[in-house]
Chain A
């Protein structure tokens, strides 16, 4: 069945360093969504990408959708403690009512 693979599972960074998480789908996606879940919280929608090759920015966060619409990335420049959490990508499933979720990448700031 359709799968969305997300790597890495964890990334430890010093505050101020950059962070990147990658998603790869086994099939072409009509769109991809990104969510952030703070420790102890629930996933919160960040952004949706729809167009091939699309790049969107939200302050220090840069989201990209691949040309083939099968991969996507989230890059955070100069991480801050407020960025700590797990970042999930998700693409529409066969029914289009469901989302197929990546396993998430946990951003950990080294003390």
Chain B
């Protein structure tokens, strides 16, 4: 099983709050990704990173931001949470040419 961790696993928060979802991997992978997914539905790429200090926006318009200061750490921040942000957020990493490894996900509910 791959070593990629996400915290918190579940989060219920009020509208307007700032939140950071944590993602860490211990595999030394350069590429990391954030996806948004409603349960069992399509995966939507919201951010990705090729390596330290490189981040790009994905296909899904998102009001979140990311940073990649260390290889192993790729946090996602929502400056002002809204009910439309309610979803599951999946972090993934990969070595070039290989498959993506996913973390267990964070289920976010914004009330």
Query: Given that A48-B99, A97-B48, A97-B50 are known contacts, is A88 also in contact with B104, CB under 8 Å in the complex?
Result: no
Contact of B42 with A44 in the complex, beta carbons under 8 Å: no
Please count how many residues in chain A sit with their CB below 8 Å of the partner chain's CB atoms.
19
Q: Is the CB of A43 closer than 8 A to any CB of chain B?
A: yes
Please count how many residues in chain B sit with their CB below 8 Å of the partner chain's CB atoms.
20
Query: Given that A97-B48, A97-B50, A98-B45 are known contacts, is A37 also in contact with B105, CB under 8 Å in the complex?
Result: no
Query: Given that A48-B99, A97-B31 are known contacts, is A88 also in contact with B43, CB under 8 Å in the complex?
Result: yes
**Neighbour of A104 across the interface among B42, B96, B99, B101, CB < 8 A:** B42
Contact of A39 with B40 in the complex, beta carbons under 8 Å: yes
Q: Is the CB of B41 closer than 8 A to any CB of chain A?
A: yes
- Which residues of chain A are within 8 angstroms of B39 by Cβ–Cβ distance? 39-40
Query: Given that A101-B43, A103-B42 are known contacts, is A42 also in contact with B99, CB under 8 Å in the complex?
Result: no
Q: A86–B101 Cα gap in the complex (Å)?
A: 16
22 contacting pairs across A/B (C-beta < 8 A): A33-B99, A37-B40, A41-B104, A42-B90, A42-B102, A42-B103, A42-B104, A42-B105, A43-B90, A43-B100, A45-B99, A45-B100, A45-B101, A97-B31, A97-B50, A98-B45, A99-B100, A101-B42, A101-B43, A101-B45, A103-B42, A104-B41
Residues of A in contact with B (beta carbons under 8 Å apart): 33, 37, 39-45, 48, 86, 88, 97-99, 101, 103-104, 106
